[in-house]
Structure formats: structure tokens, C-alpha cells
Chains A and B, each alone.
Chain A
Amino acid sequence: MAIVADAGVLYGLLAVGAGLATGLAGIGAGVGEQGIGAAVVGVVAEEPGFLGKGLFLMLLPETLIIFGLAVSLILMFAWTPFSGIVTP
């Protein structure tokens, strides 16, 4: 059975992949931030001066989304094997 590479289907699959990459990374970061967020709220209730450091700590897992986003961007814009097909 021959596999027919349809440009539209491939582009669609790329878009789905890109969406999954950012979306799943977002969930991951969210799970990470949940624990930190709860702890930070607890600490800030005791000691309001910790707010700055707490907000900063909450940002640490956000790198995960950035990785996901980087993968998405590469898929959508910069992945040369498909660029011939996906250029609109």
C-alpha cells in the first residue's frame, strides 16, 4: 500500500502536533506550579514580604511551556523537511 503524502493533511498533522506540544507542556507546567503556588500562598499569609520571591519561584516551572512552545514553533515555521510542502 502506497502512502500518499497530501500536503494539506501533513500541514494539519503538523498543526495538531504543534498544539499538543504547547498544550501538554502547559499542563505539565501547571501541575508543577500548583504545588509551588499553594506553598507560596501559605508562606505569604504568614510573611507578606515573601511575595516577590514567591512569585519568582512560581515562574520556575514555566520554562517547561517555553520548551513546548519552542517545539511548536519549530514544527510550524522552521522544520525544513516539510517546509516545501507547508509553505502556503
Chain B
Amino acid sequence: MLRPVKMSRVVVAGSKDVISPVVEKLHELRLLHIVSYNGNQPEFELGKPIGKAKEYSEDLIKLRSATRYLDIKNKAPDKTYPESQVLSEMDNLLNNVGAEVTATFERITAIEAEVKSKQDQIKALTPLSVLPLPLDAYYGYDSLATFVGTAATPVDADVARVSPVNEIYTGTAKNATLVAIFVPADKAGEVSAVLSEHGFSETSVPKLEGNVDSAIATLEGSIKSLDGEMAPLKKKLADMKKQYEDLMLATDEYLSMQTRKTEAPLRFAETANAFVIDGYVPSDQFSRLKNELESAAGGRLEVQLIADKEADDLVEKGEDVPTQMDNPSLARPYELVTRLFAIPEYKEFDPSLLIFVFFPIMFGMILGDVGYGVMTFLVLVLLKKRFRTEGWQQLINIVMIGSVWSIIFGVFYGEIFGPLGLWGRVMGQLPEAELEHLKSVGLYFGEGVYGSLGRLGPLGIFPMDRLASNAVLLLIGTSIFIGVIHCSVGSILGILTELNYGEKKHAYFERLPVMLFQVFFAIALLGLVMGQMIMVYLGAVVIVVSIVMMVMGPEGAMGLAHVPSYVSNLISYLRILAIGLASVGLAYAANQLAFYVIMPMLSGGAKDSAEFTIPAIIVGVLVLLVVHFINFLLGILSPFMHPLRLHYVEMFTKFYSAHGGGVEYSPFGHVRRFLKA
């Protein structure tokens, strides 16, 4: 929660004789985050790969070329294989299957190239059919020069002028004039010059025989037979892909695993007879790591915990303590949001839990519609089955929790596909006299949205209509209020982070005044609105104090330059209201357009919904579908991106970016996907 898992710095040292079982055990345990040896100490040298590293990489290259030809991409496993099966089938897979795949793929490529060249020939031949010459008349002359192509203007007279001996054939194709000109070879240069004046562009004539039409027919026939040959080959590839996909991915996994194991010693420090591994392990796992490793090495190895003070020295020298985020499973998807920004440093806070609290509420407040919320939820349920990679699953879970909140807020706002759309019609309205009374006491939160159960909430204002002016004012206040809490939480984390790093001055004179400023700015505003001048004075005094503190802080008077941004930080939270209003507005417009404009108009001015004609209802519903669909798409994107921004820009900057990104805990080992353990 909020803090990464506690890590301990360990050193593993052992005899080189046991390096293989130790690597094997480390890989299996998946506990030790190895710190690569940098080769700086003269008494140690870099380790060398063990075992059959080269063979494994060669096999991997062979396998990957076959997977590429089969167009196999990484995916969620449908089947898993025991290692023994992978091993027994590997030889066949790499050599026989691999060779067959390569041969088939190469044949397909060759056929495709041949088809392409024949298609080009057909393209060149087609215009020639307007000329009365067989194809072998176009080539094979020693003393004649041939020009075949299209010309923009008639060429006969000019060609005859430079070369009295000539033969010219002209034909009109679809949108060009085709000419074939035969002149003595010694006149070729002059004729070519003349032709260029007439916009002549040459066509290359394929060296074929017979007349044009029959040549085209022959080519088309052979294309057809090539296509006929290709279809079963493609099917063969597809069948092979289906048959071997999971096995190939399992083999890939096995080989990658082996390669990683054989190359692991490259990150160790070695002497002639011993090896040393530096690394980090979660503190509560240390004894397990120690016991397992020592029993695997039969006592020829020592695992030692480094004392805190010594470990701090190593960090001081530039070693990064890895961060493993530690959150309850419901909040874990939100680690994606954190990760997208930066991995927190070991001493920093992991904000995922806070994102889990604030993000879905903001999402819900913005979208706030039962109809859209349910639709989002259903769409996500479908997507969740379709996209099964971890990243997608996390993203989908993030939005899913948000969509639940948007249903809750939809009930508060009285919106099902927009206000006044279904809610008011289904639930009925308050009597006119009561509405008048509400207006007079300033508690009018829109009409047509009150349920027959009356209204709920401390002021009796839910469900309310977000487009009513009182509701807008209330939401402005709520948004700023959320902003103050959000920023304050960020500031508190900021203060604690600075204290963790031992920077007291930064904590009390840089982070604290920001929080004071923002909180009391909001209190002063609230006092203005409520007419409580005492709150305004109090707020003003604390704001002045906080500004003085900023000036005393590490940045000095320059710190004042940030003051406007602290105000704009808070105003920025108005987007929670604003984007929501935009989407309500569009939904409202869609409903108005359909129910009060299109349907009455197409029913010949009918006022009552019972009189609407069927075509009018169909058109109206179509308009509703289209506009609501567009609104729905926008309605998922904006409520996602804007709270994200509120977190990254307004909240994270208060405590996060000061010390740069951390290193994620990635223990040596492998999560098996296609391989059975």
C-alpha cells in the first residue's frame, strides 16, 4: 500500500562448480533482482556464459524464421506443454516442419512474383489490341527501328517528313491514340525527336507470339493455374499455423528461457574458482532464498545480507534499489497508470492506491449517466474476452471500475442517455406548485428529473439536472473541493517524500506552503460565496503566511513565480464539471432533436407522443442512435484522458517527479505461459 515492497541487498557467493544448479534454482525461484557487475573491480572479472548458449540461440533463430513465415504472433496461450514434450518435438519442429514452412513460403513468394509479372504483361498488352499487328511483328528487326506508344496528336505527316520510308499503324484506345511506327534504323534519332513534340510516350511490348487477344488469354490462363497452385499452399501454411502455433510459442519460450539461463553469468562477477552475484530480494523472502540456494548448492555457497548502512552507501554510489509496487488486487490495474508516468523510486510513494480512489470517481462524475455507464460496462465485458494480454486487461479493468461509478453518478444526476430523456418520462415529475416553491428558495435543480419517490440527498437535491444553473454552481464547488483534496493529498505525500530523503527545508518550505496556499485559497473562496467574511480573512492571512514561507524556501523569491500555477491547478479541476456538461449537452440535444423536433415534424405537427407516425419514430430513433453513439465514443475517451491528466499534472507533480524514475523489480526467472511447470 502506498509504499513499495521492502527490499534487502544480498550477495551470493559460491564455487564455480555449482554455478549451473544455482542459476537453475534462481531461475525457478524468481526472487533475486540481479544487479549486473560493472567490471570495475580489478580482483573480479565478468562471468562467461555456461552450457550450450550458442546452440540455443541458433535454434531460436531457426524457430523464429519459421514463426515469422507462419505469421505467428505472441498471444494468450490456448494450450500448455510440459517441457519434456517440447524437448522431444523440438528436433522435428526445427528441422522438418521448419524446412517445410520455409519451402512452402518461398514457393508462394515465387508464385506471387510470377503472377505479378504476368499481370504487368497483360497491362502492357491490353492497349495493343487496337492495332492490327501480331505480337511477333513488333520485335526482331536489324535494320528497322520500332516505336510503339501513345501520342497526343497525329504523327503521320511529321514522321513522313523526316523519314519518307515508313510504316505507321494507328488505333484509338479508350482515351488515347496508339501508334506503331516502323522506320529505317538510321532515321531513329530524328523520328524520336519528332515524336517527342507530339507528346509520345512509349509502351514496352512483351516479347510474345501470336495475336494480342490470344496472348492475353494465354497469360490469364497461366495466372489462373498459378493461383490454383497457390491456394492449397496458403491453406497448407494456415493449417500448419493452426497445428503448431502453440507448440512453436512454447518452444520459443523454452529456448528463450534456456538462453537466459546460459547467459546469466554475464551479469555475475567471477574469479578463477568462484562467482559473486549482487542483487535485491524482498526482505520477507530472504530466508527462503538463502535456504533454497544453499540446499541447491550443497553448502558450497554463501548468501549474505548486507547491513542497512552499507547498502545505503551503495545507493549513494548510484545503485538503484528496485521498486516492487504492492497494492491490493482491486487497485492493481491502476499500477498501469503509475507505470505510464514513471516507476516510483524505492523511497518514493506508489500512488496507485490513490489513483484507484480518485480516478474512477472522477470518471464517474464526468460520464455520470446510467445508460452510457451500462453500455460501457457491457462493451468492456466483451472486450475483456477479446483482448487477453495483461496490459489490455488492466486498461479494461480501470475503465470498468469507472463505469460502475458512472452508473452511480448517473442515478445522482437522473440521467439515462441524457437528462429528460427517459428518466423524467418514466418516473414522472414534481407538481408545478412544488417547482415554483423550489425556485423561490433557490433549490431548483431542474425539472422533469424528479422521481416519484421524491428526492434524496442532504439537501433533497438528487436526482438533479446537471444543466440547471444551481446544479452547475454546486458542481463547480464540488469540482474545486475534489481538487483541493486531491492536491492536498499530493502535497502531503510530497512532504513525506522529502522527509524520507532527509530534505527538511524542501519539505517545510517548498511542499507545505503549496498545500496551505491551496487549501486556504479554497476556504477564502468558500467564505466569499457563503458571505462568511471571517473565513475570507483567515484564508487571506494564511495565504500571506504561505507566500512568506515560499520566499524563505530553497527557491527564494523565484518560488513566487509558481503561485499562479497553484491557482490554475485548482481551476483545472473544473474540467470534471465542464467535460461532463459537454456530454450532457450533446445527449440533451439529441433527445430534444428526436422527441421535440423530428418526430413531431414528420408526424405532421403532432404534439403528443401517441400521435407520432411509424416513419417519424423510425427516423427519430435513427437520429438518437447516431448522436448517442458519437457521444458515447467521446464519452469514454474524455472521462478517461482528463482525470489522467489531473493525476499526472496536478497531483503527481506535487510529490513525484522530483527525484526521477525508479527501476522496476524484475527478478531473474520466467513466468511460464506456454510451458507447464
* Chain A residues in 8 Å Cβ range of B649: 60
Residues of chain A contacted by B469 (CB below 8 angstroms): 76-77
Q: Which of B340, B476, B568 contacts A52 (CB 8 A)?
A: B340
Identify which of A56, A66, A76 contacts B572 (C-beta below 8 A).
A66
Does chain A have a CB within 8 A of B473? yes
Q: A62 — which chain B residues lie within 8 A by C-beta? A: 575, 642
> Given the complex, which residues of B lie within 8 Å of A65, measured CB to CB?
578
* A-contacting residues, B419-475, CB 8 Å: 469, 472-473
**What per-residue 1/0 map shows which CB atoms of A61-88 lie under 8 Å from chain B?**
0110111011001001110000000000
Is A55 interfacial (CB-CB < 8 Å)? yes
Q: Decide yes or no whether B648 CB sits under 8 A from chain A.
A: yes
Contact present for A59 and B473 (CB under 8 Å): no
Q: Are A56 and B648 touching (Cβ within 8 A)?
A: yes
Q: Would B473 and A63 count as touching, CB distance under 8 A?
A: no
In the complex, are the beta carbons of A73 and B645 less than 8 A apart? no
- The proximity string for B residues 639-677 relative to A, scoring 1 for CB distances below 8 Å and 0 otherwise, is 001101100110000000000000000000000000000
A53-B340, A55-B641, A60-B645 as given contacts; A66 in contact with B575, CB under 8 Å = yes
| Complex contacts, A76 vs chain B, CB 8 Å | 469
Asked if B574 CB lies within 8 Å of chain A CBs, one says: yes
B472 & A73 in contact (Cβ 8 Å cutoff): yes
Smallest beta-carbon distance A26→chain B, Å: 11
A73 in contact with B476 (CB, 8 Å): yes
Interface residues of B in 282-315 (CB under 8 A from A): none
Q: Is the CB of A78 within 8 A of B473?
A: yes
**Residues on A with beta carbons closer than 8 Å to the beta carbon of B578:** 65-66, 69
Q: Is B185 an interface residue (CB 8 A)?
A: no
B461-516 residues at the A interface, CB under 8 angstroms: 469, 472-473, 476
Q: Which residue, B571, B578, B641, B642, has most C-beta atoms of chain A within 10 A? A: B578
Distance between Cα atoms of A67 and B570 in the complex (Å):
11
From B568, B571, B645, contact of A59 by CB (8 A): B645
Contact with A along B571-582 (1 / 0, CB 8 A): 110110010000
B574 pairs with A70, CB closer than 8 A: yes
Q: Mark A40-54, 1 if CB is under 8 A from B, else 0.
A: 000000000000110
Most buried by A among B340, B472, B575: B575
Alpha-carbon gap, A56 to B642, bound state (A): 8
Q: How far is the CB of B633 from chain A (nearest CB, A)?
A: 14
CA distance A21 to B644 in the complex (A): 26
Name the distance in Å between B269's Cβ and chain A's nearest Cβ: 35
Complex Cα–Cα for A6 and B644 (A)? 45
Cα-based distance from A62 to B644 in the complex (angstroms): 13
* A62 vs B575: C-alpha distance when bound (angstroms): 9
Q: How far is the CA of A60 from the CA of B568 in the complex (A)?
A: 13
By a CB distance below 8 angstroms, the chain B residues around A53 are 340
Asked whether B645 lies within 8 Å of A66 as measured between CB atoms, the reply is no
CB distance from B482 to the nearest CB of A (A): 14
Measured between alpha carbons, how far is A69 from B469 in the docked complex, in Å?
14
**Among A56, A67, A70, A77, contact of B473 (Cβ-Cβ < 8 Å):** A77
- Contact of B574 with A66 in the complex, beta carbons under 8 Å: yes
The one of B473, B568, B574 in contact with A69, judged by C-beta atoms closer than 8 angstroms, is B574
Contacts of A73 in B (CB 8 A): 472, 476, 574
Closest Cβ of chain B to A57, distance in Å, is 10
Q: Provide the residues of chain A in CB contact with B644, threshold 8 Å.
A: 56, 59
**For residue B649, which residue of chain A has the nearest CB?**
A60
- Chain A residues with CB under 8 Å of B575's CB are 62-63, 66
Which residue from A56, A66, A77, A78 sits with its C-beta under 8 Å from B641?
A56
A70 and B571 contact, CB distance less than 8 A:
yes
Is A59's CB under 8 angstroms from B641's CB?
yes
Chain A min CB distance to B445 (Å): 13
Knowing A59-B642, A73-B472, say if A66 contacts B571 (CB, 8 Å): yes
Could you jot down 5 A-B contacts, CB within 8 Å? A55-B641, A56-B645, A60-B645, A60-B649, A66-B572
Please give me the 10 A-B residue pairs with the lowest Cβ-Cβ distance, nearest first: A77-B469, A59-B645, A69-B578, A66-B575, A66-B574, A70-B574, A63-B572, A59-B641, A66-B578, A77-B473
Q: A69-B578, A73-B472 are in contact. List 20 more A-B contacts (CB 8 A).
A: A55-B641, A56-B645, A59-B642, A59-B644, A63-B572, A63-B575, A65-B578, A66-B571, A66-B572, A66-B574, A67-B571, A69-B574, A70-B476, A73-B476, A73-B574, A76-B469, A77-B469, A77-B472, A77-B473, A78-B473
